[in-house]
C-alpha cells in the first residue's frame, strides 16, 4: 500500500539516484504520432520487459561486457515501444526519455543527451524543474568539452564548478530554492556504500526472486553503474556550489498560508463534527478532548455493542492482510526498542532535505554517507517505518488544527515499510475490498462527515511487490495478476465511496509527479462528486517538485514542511501531498461545523470557489480558507 509520505522517502533515497544523475529531465511527446501507432490510455496497457541475469547484480555491475549488453537491449526495448505505441502522458514519457538520456550519458554520447535536454526542458510545466532541468548534466558536458585530453580530476572538477555556477547563479532564488535544497541533500548523502547497500537490500533480492531484472530494476542498475563511474565524484562539487548559492541568497519564501486560514473559536456555539482519519494509525493520547468516543463500547476484549468490531472506543483497525484488529497506532513490530532512532532519523531526514542545519540532520547525513552496505537495508527499514508510524498522527493533527469541534475517528490500515514489501494476493485484495465497505459503513453509522485519505494503491506498486517476491511465471503473468488485484481494490473502494454520498472524502494526489488518472492510482484516479483530490504547494503557494497532478486534482494546499504532531505529542515538520490533503479536510470540517446541513457537493463548491488561480499555473487552484468561510456566510444571508 502506498502512503504518500513513504513515496517521498523513496523519492529522495531511491529514485533520487536517477534524479541526481539526470537533474530534472522532462520529456515531451513525439511530434504528431503516426496513425498506425497503438494508443495507450493507461500505464497498465504498456508492454512489460524483463532481462535475464547470469549471476548476481553485484557481479553484473563489475562486468563491462554484460553491462554493455544490458544497455543495448534496454535501449532497443525503449525505442521499440516508442515506435509501436502512441504515448501522450507526459510523466510516462518523462521516465522513458530519462532512461534514454541515461543510456546516452553512460555511453558518452553527449550530443544526443544534449539534444534530449534542449527538447525537453521547455516542456516541463513546473517552473523550478524547467529552470533546473538537466543543469548539472549540461555543466558536466560543458566541462568535458573544455578540459579534453589529459586534464586531472582536480582540473575537471574546477571546470565543472565554474560551469555549474554559471547556470545556477542565473536562476531566480524565489523559484528554485526548495529544489536546490533537495538536490543538495541528495548530493550530500548519496555514496557508493549507500548505492551498493540498495543493491544488496532491494535490487539483489528482487532479481533473485524473479530470476532476472524488470525494466525498473534494469534502469536502476544502469544508473548505479553510471553513478559509480562518473557522478558520485562530483557530489562534493555540487554540494559546494549549491551551498554557495544558498548562502548568497538566504531569503526564505514568504509563507502565504497563515493569512488564508479559517480559525474556529471555542466560544462559537457549534456542534462537534466527526472527522475520519483513514490512515496508518493515530496516537489517541495526543488528541485528548478531540477524539471520537463510542459510548456504547467497553474496552474489555469483546464486541460490547455488537457492531462487529472489538474495543472500537476511538475507531477501527485492519492489518496488512485485511484482518480487523484493535491497534489504533501502527504496531512497532520488528522496530520495537528503536523508537529513539526512528524519531532521530525522521527529524534529521526532514531537516536535511529542507537544508536545516540541525544536529539531527548532521547525524543522518553522516550515517547515510558512511553506512556499510550490509546495514543499508536495516536503515531503510527504520526510516520507512518512521514515516508510517508518524504518518496518521501527523495527518490527524493537521485535520484538527484550530478546530475545537473536530472529533477524530480512527480507521487504521496497515502499510509494509520493509525494502522488500509483502506480495499482494487475490485473497488479500478481496479481504481489503470487503474492509473498505465495512469501514465506509462504520463511518456512516457513526456520523462521519468528512474523511481524509492520505494513501492509495497503484498498479505499478502491486506489480512491484510481485516482482520483489518472485511471484508469477514471468513478467506478463505478474502484469496480469497486478491488473486483476488493482481491479478488485478499485471496485471495492469505489463502491464504498459511492455508497456514502453524504460523506466528503479528501485524498492526497501522491508524490510521484505523475498523472494520477493515467497511472491508475486509487482513489485519486476516481471521479466522484463526494471526492476531492489534493495536490501540494510550497510555503509560497508554488507547486512542489513532487506533487502529482492531472485533471482529477481539484485543489492544491500547503504540503511543504507542514508542522504537526507525531506519536508522543512532539511536533515535526513533514512534506508531501499527505500533508496537503488534511489541510483541505480541515477546511471542509470547519465549514460543516458552521453549517452541519451542508452536502459534500456544496462544500466542494465553497472550497473550489474560495480558492484563487495560481498566476503562473491557471490549472492550479490555491486553497483559501478565509474566502471559503466568507462564501459560507454569503450563502446563509
**pLDDT, tens digit, 9 for 90 and up, residues 185-210:** 889 888 999 999 999 998 999 899 88
Confidence class of residue 517 from pLDDT cuts 50, 70 and 90?
low
Residue 4 has pLDDT above 80, yes or no: no
The average pLDDT across 34-56 equals 83
Average pLDDT along the chain: 88
Burial class (CB in 10 A: 0-12, 13-18, 19+), 432: buried
Residue 40 has pLDDT above 60, yes or no: yes
Q: How far apart are CA 504 and CA 36, in angstroms?
A: 43
- Per cent of the chain over pLDDT 70 is 92
For the segment 577-598, what is each residue's pLDDT rounded down to a tens digit? 999 999 999 999 999 999 999 9
Q: How far apart are CA 156 and CA 153, in angstroms?
A: 5
Residue 21 has pLDDT above 50, yes or no: no
pLDDT of residue 11: 38
pLDDT of residue 391: 93
Domains of the chain: 27-249 (no CATH), 272-330+394-600 (3.40.50.200)
pLDDT of residue 513: 59
Confidence class of residue 518 from pLDDT cuts 50, 70 and 90?
low
Residue of 29, 67, 73 whose CA lies nearest to 50: 73
pLDDT of residue 341: 84
> Which has the minimum average pLDDT: 114-123, 302-311, 318-327, 497-506?
114-123
Angle between helix 577-594 and helix 625-636 axes, rounded to 10 deg: 20
pLDDT of residue 120: 74
Q: How far apart are CA 240 and CA 139, in angstroms?
A: 14
pLDDT of residue 339: 86
For the segment 254-306, what is each residue's pLDDT rounded down to a tens digit? 899 999 999 999 999 999 999 999 999 999 999 999 999 999 999 999 999 99
pLDDT of residue 410: 98
* 449 three-class SS: strand
Higher-confidence residue of 198 and 94: namely 198
DSSP codes, 51-120 = EE-SS-HHHHHT-HHHHHHHHHHHHHHHHHHHHHEE---HHHHHHHHHHHHHHHHHTT-HHHHHHHHHHH
Q: How far apart are CA 22 and CA 99, in angstroms?
A: 9
pLDDT of residue 475: 85
Q: How far apart are CA 78 and CA 225, in angstroms?
A: 19
| Helix runs in 371-425, H state only | 376-400
Higher-confidence residue of 520 and 375: namely 375
CB count in 10 Å sphere of residue 394:
30
Residue 28 has pLDDT above 50, yes or no: no
> Which has the minimum average pLDDT: 12-26, 336-350, 574-588, 605-619?
12-26
Bond from prior residue into 523 cis (ω within 30 degrees of 0): yes
Decide if 104 contacts 113 (C-beta within 8 A).
yes
> Which has the minimum average pLDDT: 30-34, 251-255, 314-318?
30-34
pLDDT of residue 637: 61
Confidence class of residue 532 from pLDDT cuts 50, 70 and 90?
very high
Residue 63 has pLDDT above 70, yes or no: yes
Confidence class of residue 459 from pLDDT cuts 50, 70 and 90?
confident
The gap between the terminal CA atoms of the chain, to the nearest Å, is 45
Confidence class of residue 41 from pLDDT cuts 50, 70 and 90?
confident
Residue 9 has pLDDT above 50, yes or no: no
The average pLDDT across 214-225 equals 92
Q: How far apart are CA 331 and CA 417, in angstroms?
A: 12
- Per cent of the chain over pLDDT 90 is 61
pTM: 0.86
Amino acid at each position: 500500500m502506498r502512503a504518500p509520505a513513504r513515496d517521498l522517502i523513496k523519492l529522495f533515497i531511491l529514485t533520487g539516484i536517477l534524479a541526481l544523475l539526470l537533474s530534472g529531465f522532462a520529456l515531451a511527446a513525439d511530434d504528431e504520432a503516426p496513425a498506425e501507432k497503438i494508443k495507450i490510455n493507461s500505464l497498465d496497457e504498456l508492454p512489460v520487459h524483463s532481462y535475464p541475469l547470469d549471476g548476481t547484480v553485484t557481479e553484473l555491475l563489475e562486468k563491462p561486457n554484460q553491462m554493455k549488453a544490458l544497455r543495448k537491449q534496454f535501449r532497443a526495448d525503449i525505442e521499440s515501444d516508442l515506435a509501436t505505441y502512441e504515448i501522450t502522458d507526459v510523466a510516462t514519457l518523462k521516465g522513458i526519455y530519462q532512461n534514454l538520456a541515461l543510456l546516452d550519458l553512460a555511453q558518452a554520447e553527449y550530443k544526443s543527451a544534449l539534444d534530449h535536454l534542449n527538447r525537453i526542458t521547455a516542456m516541463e510545466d513546473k517552473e523550478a524543474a524547467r529552470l533546473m532541468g538537466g543543469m548539472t548534466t549540461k555543466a558536466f558536458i560543458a566541462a568535458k568539452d573544455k578540459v579534453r585530453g589529459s586534464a586531472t580530476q582536480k582540473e575537471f572538477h574546477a571546470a565543472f564548478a565554474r560551469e555549474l555556477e554559471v547556470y545556477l547563479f542565473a536562476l531566480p532564488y524565489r523559484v528554485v530554492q526548495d529544489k536546490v535544497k533537495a538536490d543538495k541533500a541528495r548530493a550530500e548523502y548519496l555514496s557508493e556504500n549507500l548505492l551498493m547497500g540498495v543493491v544488496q537490500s532491494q535490487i539483489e533480492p528482487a532479481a533473485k526472486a524473479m530470476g532476472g531484472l524488470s525494466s525498473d530494476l534494469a534502469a536502476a542498475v544502469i544508473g548505479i553503474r553510471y553513478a559509480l563511474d562518473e557522478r558520485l565524484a562530483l557530489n562534493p562539487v555540487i554540494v559546494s556550489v549549491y551551498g554557495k548559492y544558498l548562502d548568497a541568497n538566504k531569503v526564505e519564501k514568504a509563507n502565504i498560508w497563515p493569512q488564508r486560514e479559517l480559525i474556529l473559536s471555542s466560544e462559537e456555539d457549534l456542534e462537534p463534527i466527526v472527522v475520519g482519519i483513514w490512515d496508518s494509525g493515530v496516537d489517541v493520547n495526543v488528541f485528548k478532548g478531540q477524539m471520537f468516543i463510542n459510548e456504547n463500547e467497553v474496552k474489555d476484549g469483546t464486541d460490547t455493542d455488537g457492531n462487529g468490531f472489538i474495543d472500537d472506543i476511538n475507531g477501527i483497525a485492519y492489518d496488512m492482510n485485511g484482518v480487523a484488529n484493535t491497534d489504533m497506532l501502527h504496531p512497532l513490530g520488528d522496530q520495537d526498542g528503536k523508537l529513539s532512532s526512528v524519531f532521530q532519523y525522521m527529524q534529521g531526514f526532514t531537516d536535511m532535505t529542507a537544508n536545516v542545519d540541525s544536529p539531527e540532520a548532521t547525524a543522518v547525513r553522516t550515517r547515510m554517507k558512511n553506512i556499510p552496505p550490509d546495514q543499508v537495508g536495516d536503515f531503510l527499514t527504520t526510516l520507512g517505518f518512521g514515516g508510517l508510524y508518524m504518518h496518521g498522527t501527523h495527518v490527524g493533527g493537521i485535520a484538527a488544527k484550530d478546530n475545537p469541534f473536530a472529533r477524530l475517528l480512527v480507521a487504521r490500515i496497515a502499510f509494509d515499510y520493509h525494502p522488500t514489501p509483502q506480495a499482494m494476493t487475490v485473497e488479500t485484495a478481496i479481504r481489503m475490498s470487503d474492509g473498505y465497505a465495512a469501514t465506509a459503513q462504520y463511518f456512516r453509522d457513526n456520523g462521519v462527515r468528512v474523511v481524509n485519505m492520505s494513501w492509495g494503491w497503484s498498479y505499478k506498486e502491486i506489480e512491484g511487490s510481485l516482482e520483489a517476491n518472485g511471484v508469477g511465471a514471468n513478467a506478463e503473468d505478474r502484469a496480469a495478476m497486478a491488473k486483476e488485484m488493482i481491479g478488485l481494490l478499485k471496485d471495492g473502494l469505489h463502491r464504498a465511496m459511492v455508497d456514502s454520498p453524504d460523506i466528503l472524502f479528501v485524498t492526497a494526489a501522491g508524490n510521484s509527479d505523475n498523472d494520477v488518472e493515467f497511472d491508475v492510482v486509487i482513489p485519486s484516479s476516481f471521479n466522484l462528486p463526494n471526492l476531492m483530490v489534493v495536490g501540494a504547494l510550497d510555503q509560497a503557494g508554488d507547486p512542489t517538485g513532487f506533487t502529482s497532478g492531472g485533471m482529477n486534482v481539484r485543489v492544491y494546499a500547503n504540503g511543504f514542511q507542514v508542522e504537526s504532531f507525531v506519536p508522543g505529542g512532539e511536533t515535526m515538520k513533514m512534506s508531501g501531498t499527505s500533508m496537503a490533503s488534511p489541510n483541505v479536510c480541515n477546511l471542509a470540517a470547519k465549514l460543516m461545523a458552521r453549517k452541519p446541513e451542508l452536502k459534500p457537493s456544496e462544500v466542494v463548491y465553497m472550497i473550489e470557489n474560495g480558492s484563487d488561480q495560481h498566476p503562473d499555473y491557471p490549472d492550479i487552484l490555491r486553497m483559501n480558507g478565509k474566502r471559503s468561510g466568507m462564501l459560507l456566510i454569503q450563502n446563509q444571508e
